[in-house]
Amino acid sequence: MLSFRSTLSSQLAFCLTLLLVCPALAQESSSSTPAELPAKPGRAKQDAAKEAARQAAAEKEDLQKAIAEAGNDRAAMVRNLDAFLKKYPESSQRPQIYRAIVESSIQLRDFPRATEYAERIVALNPEDSSMTVLSIQLLDHYGDALGWRRAVSYCGRVLDLLKRSSPADKSPRLSAEEWQNDRKRDVSSVLLVRGELYRKLNDLSSAQKDFEASYAEQPNGAAAEHLGEIAELKNDLNEALRQYARAFSLDDRGNGVSPQKELRQKIGNVWRLAHRSEDGLGDYLLHAFDETAAAAAPAKPAPNQGLTQPYEFTVREAPDGAPFPLADTKGKVVVLNFWATWCGPCRELEPHFEKVAAHFSGDKDVLFFGLNCDEDESLVAPYLAEERPKTTVLFADGLDRLLSVNAFPTTVILDRAGKVAYRSDGFDPDDIERVLTDAILRVAHPNAGPAPNAAAARP
C-alpha cells in the first residue's frame, strides 16, 4: 500500500530507497553481453549481428565511462547520464538511468529535472505506483498549471491501481482488516491530493467532490477544512461552520503541525458573521466533537434508507421510540421543526413555534412536529423532561437526510402532497411568528386571504 499523505521530504526519502544507485547501474551495465550470433547466418545477417554487437559494446563502454568519470559528484553524474541518453535515446538501460537521474536530481534539489525523469519512468511503466506518487508530489509542489493537470491524471491512475488491488496481493504480515484500512486511507489520501490540485486549477466543483469523497472514505481534518473554505467562499456559513468544526475535532495531519489555532480563528469569524457573537459556540464545538467521534464508530444501518418520499417514512416518537408512520399525515399540511439538544437557537425558537402551533390548534388539517436530530439519543429524554415542549416530538430517523437539513433550527412546511412548500434555515426572532403563520396559511388555504385572527400569532 502507498503512504501517500506524507510530507514531501519523507515521500522523497521513501522513493530514494527504491532508486538504483549509480554503482549498481554500472555493475548491471558491465554484466550486459551482446546477443549471441546465429550458428550459421547468411552474410547480411552476420554483418548486422556484428554491427549490433559493436554498438552494444560501445554503448556499454560509454555508460561505464560516464559513471566512472562522475565518481561521487552527483551534478557530474546527471550531466554525464543526460549526455549518454542524448547519444543513446533508445538504450535498454533507460529505466535504470532515469532512476539514477531522479535520485541525483533530488539530492541536488533540482526538482524540475527530477520531475521530468520521474514522469519518463511513469511513461515507460504506468504500473509503477511509487514513481507515479513521486511525480504527483513533485508536480504538486513545483509544477505549473499544465503540470497540475498531469498530476490530476496521475491521481486517477493511482486510484485505478488501488481499485484493482486485491487482498490476495497483501503482505502476509497484514491482516485483511489492516489491509482494508490501509487501502481506505490511501484512497482518501489520493482523493485529497487531487482535490487540492483541482482547487489550484480553480475547479472548485471537482475539488469539492474529491474532498467530500476523501472525507467519506476516511474522515480527515484536511478535507473538512477545505470543504469549510469552499463553503465560506460560497457564503454558506452554516456549512462552513459544520466543516470547520469537523476539522477542529480531528488532529490527524500527521506532520507535526497542529492547525487548531488557525481553525479556531476561522470558526470564530464565521460564527460571529452568522450569529453576531460567540454565544453558543462552545456547545456547538462540543457537539461537533461528539458527532465526529460517533462517525468513527462502526456504521449502523441508516433508518429509512433508500426511501425518497416523506410519506414512506416511519419515524419514532421521542423519547420512548414508538413507531410513527408519516403516512398517517397524508393529505394534511405538516410543519416540521428540526432541532438538537445542544443547539441554543433551537431553544429560542421553541416558544415561537409553540405559539404558532397553538394558533392553528383548531385547524385539523395543519399538524406540527418537532424533529430531533441528535446523534446521541440518550440526551433527548432529559432534555424533554426539562423543557416540556407542547408540540409532538419525533426522532428525525433520516428525514433530515432526505430534506438536506444541515443546520439547526430548520423549519419545513410540507404541503398536502408531501412536497416542500416552505423552508427556513435559522430564524429572525422579531418576525418568525408572522412569517411562519403567513406561510402556513398560504399552503393550507391557498385560495383564501389571511384569516382575520392571523395577527394573533404575530408579535
DSSP category for residue 302: P
Between helix 204-217 and helix 176-200 the angle, nearest 10°, is 160
CATH number at residue 358: 3.40.30.10
Per-residue pLDDT band at 295 (split at 50, 70, 90):
low
Q: Is the pLDDT of residue 98 over 90?
A: yes
Short-list 212, 171, 218, 176, CA closest to 195? 212
All residues at 6 or more sequence positions from 153 whose CB lies less than 8 Å from its CB, including other chains: none
On the question of pLDDT at 223 being above 90, the answer is yes
What is the average per-residue pLDDT within 53-77?
89
What's the rounded mean pLDDT across residues 115-126? 93
The mean pLDDT value for 77-85 works out to 91
Residue 31, pLDDT above cutoff 90: no
Statement: residue 452 has pLDDT above 90: no
Q: Is 289 inside any structural domain?
A: no
- Band of the pLDDT at 257, cuts 50, 70, 90? low
- pLDDT over 90 (residue 286): no
pLDDT band per the 50, 70, 90 thresholds, residue 1: very low
Structural domain includes residue 235: no
Cα separation, 94 vs 85, whole angstroms: 8
Between residues 293 and 123, the one the model is more confident about: 123
Task: Judge whether residue 242 has pLDDT over 50.
Answer: yes
Report yes or no: 210 and 191 within 8 Å, Cβ to Cβ: yes
By CB neighbour count within 10 A (0-12 exposed, 13-18 middle, 19+ buried), where does 260 fall? middle
The answer to whether residue 13 scores a pLDDT higher than 60 is: no
Picking from 143, 174, 202, the residue at the C-terminal end of a domain is: 143
Q: What's the whole-model pTM score? A: 0.57
Asked if pLDDT for residue 4 goes beyond 80, the answer is no
What is the share, in percent, of the chain residues with pLDDT greater than 70?
84
Is residue 21 in some structural domain? yes
Q: Which of 205, 290, 185 is nearest to 245 (CA)?
A: 290
Q: Quote the pLDDT of residue 137.
A: 93
Answer whether residue 113 is part of any domain: yes
The confidence score (pLDDT) of residue 36 equals 45
Residue 287: per-residue pLDDT: 83
Residue 55 — very low, low, confident or very high, per pLDDT cuts 50/70/90? confident
Residue 66 lies in a domain: yes
What interhelical angle do 260-275 and 221-233 show, nearest 10?
Answer: 30
Q: Cβ distance 426 to 415 under 8 Å? A: no
Would you say 310 and 371 are in contact if contact means Cβ atoms under 8 Å apart? no
Pick left, alpha or beta for residue 235 (phi over 0 → left; psi -120 to 50 → alpha; otherwise beta). Answer: left
**Domain span at residue 372?**
310-457
So what's the pLDDT on residue 233? 94
What's 10's domain CATH number? 1.25.40
Q: Which residues are catalytic?
A: 343, 346
Torsion of CA 219, 221, 222, 224, to 10 degrees: 70
According to the model, what pLDDT value does residue 449 have? 57
Higher pLDDT, 65 or 32: 65
Last residue of a domain, one of 106, 124, 143: 143
Residue 93 lies in a domain: yes
Task: Give the chain's domain count.
Answer: 2
Pairing between β-strand 323-325 and β-strand 410-414 as defined by DSSP bridges? unpaired
The torsion region of residue 404 among left (phi > 0), alpha (psi -120 to 50) and beta comes to left
- Is 266 inside a domain boundary? no
Edge-to-edge strands, sheet with 314-317? 323-325, 314-317, 392-395, 366-372, 333-339, 410-414, 420-425
* pLDDT tens-digit series, residues 153-168: 999 999 999 988 888 8
- Asked whether the beta carbons of 372 and 380 are under 8 A apart, the reply is yes
The x, y and z cell numbers of residue 246, run together, are 469537523
Residue 207 lies in a domain: no
Q: What is the mean pLDDT of the chain?
A: 84
pLDDT at position 41: 57
**Domain-terminating residue out of 118, 143, 168:** 143
Residues 171-215 have pLDDT tens digits of 766 677 788 888 999 999 999 999 999 999 999 999 999 999 999
Residue pair 409/345 in contact (Cβ under 8 Å)? The answer is yes
Q: Work out the average pLDDT over 324-331.
A: 94
